[in-house]
């Protein structure tokens, strides 16, 4: 029960930060392009800094070898998630072949059914509740989740006509979070932080602490740019949120229980796949002139629902089972 309350408190704290971002945006206290600025800070500075610090401090050869199985579990689960999302997305947007806009809408649902907010929100939850060592293990678990997200995931979110498939895949695989993850693992394995000036590690550490709060503020800022009531009207988003945050992760966790997998892996599975729908369904469509209203609705509804669903899922599938 203590852990259940800790998870709930962490989520409520995140909701407060989202509310602050929402008010700042809605009241026009901050400039209209604030969402873009914060998003770039997250992508290019804060998230990579957190990854680097975590990997440098925890990714020893012994730790890497002892937890290498986490990478395999993450890979298997994200492949299954991609396989599930493709047919399910057809239930939300039908017959898109002759209509570019419908085809693109289906891809937004495919992405949402495949990935939760495993990065910004997942990292924040794990770090806040279990600490840096657990975050290292979680980053191992989500290694291939990140690779698939920043390659195939970003590719389907970019509207057709904005580069070839390979150009978009290359763009995703060279995204700062992926580069930081690879550099961090190599740096950790080679004990690079022992040779770095202390002020460099301090700078990275300070930047990393901004990742979680900035991510939640960003969610609120983005939602604040839309008509709140209009975002609530998309009934399909409620169904997608239920599938993404409850049904699909429940199936994963029950299967893992049947196979006798450890509670640590089950916990990471819940954090990675039961988190709310991520903000890439807004950020990348916006950058290429695609629809952002559906993504904004997904972000708002799922993040609010997660205050209830994540603690309940954790209680049912980790504490009780």
Reading the chain (321 residues) residue by residue, the pLDDT tens digits are 666 677 778 788 888 988 999 999 999 999 988 888 888 888 889 988 988 998 898 888 888 888 889 999 999 999 999 999 989 998 888 766 665 566 778 888 999 999 988 887 888 889 888 888 899 999 899 988 988 888 888 788 876 655 566 766 676 677 788 888 889 889 989 988 888 888 999 999 999 889 888 888 888 888 888 887 888 888 899 999 999 999 999 999 999 999 999 999 999 999 999 998 877 787 667 666 666 778 888 888 888 888 888 888 888 888 877
* Cβ atoms within 10 Å, residue 254: 13
CA 255 distance to own-chain centroid: 22
Domain containing 76 equals 2-320
CA distances from 294 to 70, 108, 220, 231 (A): 33, 8, 16, 8
Provide the domain count of the chain.
Answer: 1
CATH classification at residue 13: 1.20.1530.20
**Which pLDDT score, from 0 to 100, does residue 117 have?**
87
The answer to whether the beta carbons of residues 292 and 286 sit under 8 Å apart is yes
**Which pLDDT score, from 0 to 100, does residue 42 have?**
84
**Which pLDDT score, from 0 to 100, does residue 99 have?**
56
The three-state (H, E, C) secondary structure of the chain, written as one string: CHHHHHHHHHHHHHHHHHHHHHHHHHCCCCCCCHHHHHHHHHHHHHHHHHHHHHHHHHCCHHHHHHCHHHHHHHHHHHHHHHHHHHHHHCCCCCCCCCCHHHHHHHHHHHHHHHCECCCHHHHHHHHHHHCHHHHHHHHHHCHHHHHHHHHHHHHHHCCCCCCCHHHHHHHHHCCHHHHHHHHHHHHHHCCHHHHCCHHHHHHHHHHHCCHHHHHHHHHHHHHHCCCHHHHCCCHHHHHHHHHHHHHHHHHHHHHHHHCCCCHHHHHHHHHHHCCCECCHHHHHHHHCCCCCHHHHHHHHHHHHHHHHHHHHHHHHHHHHC
Q: Considering the entire predicted model, what is its pTM?
A: 0.83
- Tokens 């209680």 label which residue? 315
């Amino acid at each position: 029960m203590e852990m259940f309350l800790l998870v709930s408190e962490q989520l409520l704290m995140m909701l407060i930060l989202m509310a602050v971002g929402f008010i700042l945006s809605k009241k026009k206290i901050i400039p209209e392009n604030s969402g873009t600025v914060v998003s770039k800070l997250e992508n290019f500075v804060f998230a990579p800094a957190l990854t680097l610090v975590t990997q440098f401090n925890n990714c020893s050869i012994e730790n890497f070898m002892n937890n290498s199985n986490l990478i395999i579990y993450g890979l298997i689960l994200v492949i299954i998630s991609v396989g599930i999302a493709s047919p399910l997305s057809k239930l939300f947007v039908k017959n898109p072949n002759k209509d570019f806009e419908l085809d693109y809408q289906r891809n937004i649902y495919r992405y949402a059914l495949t990935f939760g907010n495993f990065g910004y929100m997942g990292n924040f939850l794990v770090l806040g509740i279990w600490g840096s060592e657990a975050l290292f293990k979680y980053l191992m678990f989500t290694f291939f989740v990140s690779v698939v997200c920043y390659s195939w995931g970003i590719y389907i979110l970019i509207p057709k006509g904005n580069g070839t498939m390979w150009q978009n895949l290359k763009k995703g695989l060279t995204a700062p979070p992926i580069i930081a993850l690879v550099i961090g693992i190599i740096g950790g394995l080679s004990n690079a932080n022992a040779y770095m000036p202390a002020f460099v590690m301090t700078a990275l550490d300070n930047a990393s602490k901004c990742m979680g709060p900035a991510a939640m503020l960003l969610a609120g800022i983005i939602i604040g740019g839309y008509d709140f009531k209009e975002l609530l009207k998309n009934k399909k988003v409620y169904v997608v949120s239920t599938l993404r945050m409850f049904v699909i992760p429940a199936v994963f966790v029950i299967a893992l229980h049947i196979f006798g997998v450890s509670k640590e892996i089950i916990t990471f599975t819940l954090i990675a796949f039961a988190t709310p729908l991520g903000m890439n369904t807004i950020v990348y469509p916006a950058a290429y002139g695609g629809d952002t209203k559906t993504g904004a609705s997904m972000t708002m509804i799922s993040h609010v629902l997660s205050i209830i669903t994540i603690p309940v899922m954790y209680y049912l599938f980790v504490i009780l089972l």
